[in-house]
Chain A
Amino acid sequence: MSARPSARHPPQVSVERAGIQTTVQDGGRFGYQHLGVVPAGAMDMESMLLANALVGNTPDNATLEMALQGPTLRFGCETLIALAGASFRICAAHGQTVTMLASNRPILLSAGTQVAFEHAPDGARAYLAVAGGFDVPSILGSRCTYIPAGFGGHAGRALKKGDCLALLPQASSLARTRFGSLREKNSGIVSHGSGVTTVRWSVRPGSLPEDEVTLVRFISGRHRALFTAQALQAFESSTYRISPDSNRMGYRMVGPRLERANTRDVLSEPTNLGTVQVPADGSPIVLMADHQTTGGYAKIAEIVSADIARLAQLRPGQQVRFTPCSLAQALALARAARAALTTKTQALAWQYQA
């Protein structure tokens, strides 16, 4: 096989089935919030960063985010891939041979392999990284898709059947070089005989739900004093369910309604990822990756950044409880989460060192 891209093995991924919502995502688009452009990016940053590290990428490479029901993709050329996050059933077909594959590990696919990402028994989202990243244009400093305004990623929208995503021209030589490094460092390379090769280890993200009720920590919201004592009590002591009409913009919570003691209008002002706002109907909404940059609803709480990835992995119907913490605790949690992830990504980077 030639090291250069050929017409027979084009460096691209074609979409044979789109999945529920499959979008190109990266670390997000910063520097434009004053123009109403939200950072967006991966809902579960930890899994996205881990997926990139699993194939030897840099943290800023573009990945595919899949939700609940994944896509079926055909890889035009030899490609090194990894799926991190929710453990989707991965079914690789090459010719007559079908292989079931596991998440959270590097997998070398031969040209022409079809991979179906089905459903996940745990978690809501996973990130598919390919060696070199998906080669979509960088817009305002990021390759991530921002669906509400229709730009970024692939054509500013979720993938559709028939779409073709470009890989780097050198994607297959990168795949071979990087997998060569894995072969040197690991004795247990598994060849499935169908042109699918992988390793015997995996590195899991820390964001997958482990309990029936997920505990999510928050700092007091700045409009806390506008709510009744009962509402503040209910928010901290009740179990909420993720509503089915939750999406990348926000998670609506089903549970006790939160009444205001003072119903004065709040002047529209900046919001943040994790802001919990309460509209007039009393049902809290947690602002997620594609949220509005400003809003005029009262803020009862702010979810700590270290818990956003775990929240992003919850499916509609799953349960959460909100528990208070201080700003100092939230910062300590964020730095601890960052350090734990760095330990994982550094170990993976060593696997790819020449």
Chain B
Amino acid sequence: MGSQPAIRVRSVVPLGDTAVLVEFSDRLDPVVNAGIQRLADAIRRRRLPWIRDVVPAIASLAVHIDIGLTDEADTVEVVRDLVEVCLADTTVPHRAPRPPIVVPVCYDDSFGMDLPEIAGLTGLSADEVVRRHLGSDFRVLMVGFVPGHPYLGGLDPTLAVPRRSAPRLRMPAGTVAIANAQCVVYPYEIPGGWSVVGRTPLRLFDAARARPSLFEPADAVRFERIERAQFAQIAKNEGTQ
């Protein structure tokens, strides 16, 4: 992959007989993740009829297979070979970087319910926690769990707090939360065990849009502070409230 930093296959294992998982690391490494995103592009570019889905993840990548369209006896070997060929392919063009996705967030007390606790854990003021969240350059490592749900890397390392011991059963759509080195935004009302810093009024996923998911893997993301009045206005336009 030309000048891209090389990533190395750590293991290739079956996820049943209809998918294969290729693991590159057992920890979050932004350089490895960038290599996985390029690899996903390189695999998709081949438009192989037996591949149903290519799913780049934080430190791994899954290839979902239509086994009716391949008579291979060993799906693991086929995917291992495909990945080696794609990693060695220097003809894959670099994807033009898209401008960062700017996500308006309201950090008010009622939305950013865990800011005081994060401040306590990090020894920073709540305002400083918000400032460092706004100052982080995020990148979408993976979209998964439910439609449009991003896992963002790039959180200011001073804000790394562990997951909460007791997950909350229902967190509202738009909740922005952090844990360890990552940040997430919930597209729907779902359970969550991360510490909440604020809420966005944006609709993260809409199957009827030309781009259904606001966040796509490898996108750059930046948060922008808004007040309650702006939140209400945007929420009205988005139809999220």
A: residues with CB less than 8 A from B are 30-37, 39, 139-140, 146, 148-152, 219, 222, 267-275, 292-295, 299, 302-306, 327-328, 330-331, 333-335, 338
A222 neighbours in B (Cβ, 8 Å): 11, 13, 15, 21
Number of interface residues of B (CB under 8 A): 51
A149 and B188 contacting across the interface, CB-CB below 8 Å:
yes
Cα distance, A268 to B60, chains bound together (Å): 9
B192: interface (CB < 8 Å): no
- Given A33-B64, A36-B149, A303-B16, 19 extra CB contacts under 8 A: A33-B62, A35-B205, A35-B216, A36-B145, A36-B148, A39-B52, A146-B147, A149-B147, A149-B187, A222-B11, A222-B13, A269-B59, A272-B19, A304-B16, A305-B16, A306-B17, A330-B17, A331-B17, A331-B67
Compute how far the CA of A273 lies from the CA of B66 in the bound complex, rounded to whole angstroms: 13
B48 within 8 A of A: no
Question: Do B143 and A269 have beta carbons less than 8 Å apart?
Answer: no
The answer to whether B55 touches A34, judged by C-beta atoms less than 8 angstroms apart, is yes
Does B40 reach chain A (CB closer than 8 Å)?
Answer: yes
CB-contact partner of B145 in A139, A273, A294, A306, under 8 A: A294
Segment with Cβ contacts to A, from B69-77, B82-90, B99-107, B127-135: B69-77
**How far, in Å, is A39 (CB) from chain B's closest CB?**
8
Q: How many whole Å from A329's CB to the nearest CB in chain B?
A: 9
CA distance A36 to B151 in the complex (A): 11
- Answer yes or no: B98 CB below 8 A from chain A CBs: no
Q: How far is the CA of A327 from the CA of B20 in the complex (A)?
A: 11
Q: Are B213 and A269 in contact (CB under 8 A)?
A: no
A36 touches B147 (CB 8 A): yes
- Chain A residue nearest to B54 in the complex (CB): A34
Count of A-B contacts judged by CB separation below 8 Å: 152
Q: Indicate if B6 sits at the interface (CB-CB under 8 A).
A: no
Residues of B within 8 A of A331 (CB): 17, 67, 73, 75
CB–CB B56/A140 < 8 A: no
Residues facing A in B13-64 (CB within 8 A) are 13-19, 21, 23, 26-28, 40, 52-62, 64
A–B Cβ pairs within 8 angstroms, 22 of them:
A30-B64, A31-B53, A34-B54, A34-B143, A35-B148, A37-B147, A139-B207, A146-B147, A149-B187, A150-B188, A152-B207, A222-B15, A267-B26, A270-B57, A292-B144, A304-B16, A305-B67, A327-B76, A331-B73, A331-B75, A334-B18, A338-B68
A304 to B67, CA, bound (A): 12
Chain B residues, Cβ within 8 Å of A303: 16
CB distance from B72 to the nearest CB of A (A): 8
Specify which chain A residues have a CB less than 8 angstroms from the CB of B112 in the assembled complex: none
- The 9 A-B residue pairs with the shortest CB-CB distance in the complex, in nearest-first order: A294-B144, A270-B62, A302-B16, A330-B17, A33-B53, A272-B15, A35-B213, A151-B207, A272-B19
